[in-house]
Amino acid sequence: MYVCNREVNVKNLRILITGAGAPGILGTLYSLKNNFDNRSVYIIGTDSNLEVVGKYVCDKFFQIHHSSLKDEYLDSMEKICHNEGVDIIIPQNTFELSLLSEKKKLFEQKGTRILVSDSRAIEMSNNKYLLMQKCNEIGIPVGKFRKVNNFEDLKIFAKKLGWPKREVVVKPPISNGLRGVRIIDENFDSKKAFYSEKPTSLTTKMDNLHGIIGDSFPELILTEFLSGIEYTVDVFRYNEQSIVIPRLREMVRSGITFTGKSIKHKKIIEYSLALSNSLGLEYCFGFQFKLDGKDCPKILESNPRIQGTMVLSTFSGANIIYLSVKALLGESFDLPKINWNTRLLRYWGGIAVYDEKQIGQL
């Protein structure tokens, strides 16, 4: 048991960021280090893997247990917070959100706040099936969907959605990134893809999917395929104040936005505000929408945490990551003006390491 009665240093913050190997770690660091208060921020990164970029770009790094090992994970987090005087934990990994949300009060008693919504909001937001049910309840457009756990039902409902003439999508209720997501397309030309595309497992045919998952399987969601463009939405919400920044995903590689732009899409802003309020999400988090064939935005999923390209909102004038830190600390703030149509062009970078030290960066 660790006990801490220290108070937060208003000038110098010590922040622990989990998932230091996440693709968006540099964006998170940028938003915290380049804050509008010119406040000194010391970043402690953690990850279950040892060789991650956060090990070298954070001020300090610790390898910790995976959150699936709950007791070991919590013990290592408590020790780091105690020994390093951590003021705030910012989680970036989907699978640890529920656990950290449940332990918020425990950590706060020991002097560390956690930037995460309440456990009920996390449960509803992390589960795509519950999220889509909620959208139906409050009148937010959503594609047709059904939960299935056997291949016979999957195929029956797929036909109701227009398969094999039309594509359908399967995905787990709870997942991270593109894990478990497949587009079932009987017109998929695997030979053409072999010669003209980089290897990908996102699109497949029904028989191939059957060979992978078998006759029965853990629950999946089957949905109609939405053919329009996709938006990621960054949201800040605290008490009665909120900011919503839709981001057009102009180019996506391996589920990561490589070219994007902040867009003032009024319907997506309206839907995101309504859903945020209904779910009870707080601080910074996000949604993903995709347009259907009639340009109607329909919900895909929620990310009740910092999103990988949330730094685009920072560049657009709304540093909602740092704004969330101020809200968590109970500090006053003004809502910023958003510079719409700001673009981000991501590129492949890297760091050089010698003798456990960074010696160069692309």
Q: Is 185 inside a domain boundary?
A: yes
Q: Is 352 inside a domain boundary?
A: no
Residue ending a domain, choose from 176, 195, 224? 224
Instruction: Convert the pLDDT of each residue in 303-360 to its tens digit.
Output: 999 999 999 999 999 999 999 999 999 999 999 999 999 999 998 889 999 998 999 9
Amino acid at 29: L
Burial group, residue 96, by CB count within 10 angstroms (0-12, 13-18, 19+) = buried
Confidence class for position 11, pLDDT limits 50, 70, 90: confident
Q: Identify whether residues 167 and 276 lie together within a single domain.
A: no
- The residues, ordered by sequence, that sit 6+ positions from 184 with a Cβ below 8 Å of its Cβ are 158, 163, 167, 168, 169, 170, 204, 205, 206, 209
Instruction: Convert the pLDDT of each residue in 103-134 to its tens digit.
Output: 999 999 999 999 999 999 999 999 999 999 99
Q: Is 82 inside a domain boundary?
A: yes
Residue ending a domain, choose from 224, 245, 271? 224
Q: Is 2 inside a domain boundary?
A: no
Q: Identify whether residues 332 and 231 lie together within a single domain.
A: yes
Q: Identify whether residues 21 and 110 lie together within a single domain.
A: yes
CB of 203 within 8 A of CB of 225?
Answer: no
Q: Identify whether residues 249 and 173 lie together within a single domain.
A: no
Q: Is 353 inside a domain boundary?
A: no
Q: Identify whether residues 241 and 341 lie together within a single domain.
A: yes
Confidence class for position 179, pLDDT limits 50, 70, 90: confident
Q: Is 351 inside a domain boundary?
A: no
Instruction: Convert the pLDDT of each residue in 250-306 to its tens digit.
Output: 998 877 899 999 999 999 999 999 999 999 999 999 999 999 989 999 999 999 999
* Residue for token pair 């195929």: 155
* Rounded Cα–Cα distance for residues 164 and 71 (Å): 47
Q: Is 292 inside a domain boundary?
A: yes
Nearest one of 252, 318, 247, 316 to 286, comparing CA atoms:
247
Q: Identify whether residues 151 and 296 lie together within a single domain.
A: no
Q: Identify whether residues 197 and 48 lie together within a single domain.
A: no
* Rounded Cα–Cα distance for residues 115 and 133 (Å): 26
* Residue for token pair 């930037």: 115
Q: Identify whether residues 210 and 240 lie together within a single domain.
A: no
Residue ending a domain, choose from 224, 246, 281? 224
Full DSSP string of 228-245: S-EEEEEEEEETTEEEEE
Full DSSP string of 103-135: THHHHHHTT-EE----HHHHHHHH-HHHHHHHH
- The total of structural domains in the chain comes to 3
Full DSSP string of 282-332: -EEEEEEEEE-TTS-EEEEEEE-S--TTTHHHHHTT--HHHHHHHHHHT--
Instruction: Convert the pLDDT of each residue in 192-226 to its tens digit.
Output: 888 887 777 789 999 999 999 999 999 999 999 99
Q: Identify whether residues 301 and 275 lie together within a single domain.
A: yes
CATH number at residue 190: 3.30.1490
The pTM of the full predicted model, rounded to 2 decimals, is: 0.92
Q: Identify whether residues 77 and 206 lie together within a single domain.
A: no
CB of 278 within 8 A of CB of 287?
Answer: no
* Residue for token pair 């970036």: 92
* Residue-number span of the structural domain to which 233 is assigned: 122-140+227-345
CATH number at residue 292: 3.30.470.20
In this prediction, residue 116 carries a pLDDT of 97
Q: Identify whether residues 182 and 236 lie together within a single domain.
A: no
CATH number at residue 85: 3.40.50.20
Confidence class for position 2, pLDDT limits 50, 70, 90: very low
Full DSSP string of 252-270: EETTEEEEEEE---HHHHH
In this prediction, residue 5 carries a pLDDT of 45
Q: Is 361 inside a domain boundary?
A: no
Q: Identify whether residues 235 and 292 lie together within a single domain.
A: yes
C-alpha of 126 from chain center: 10
* Residue for token pair 């705030």: 88
Nearest one of 273, 283, 262, 279 to 338, comparing CA atoms:
262
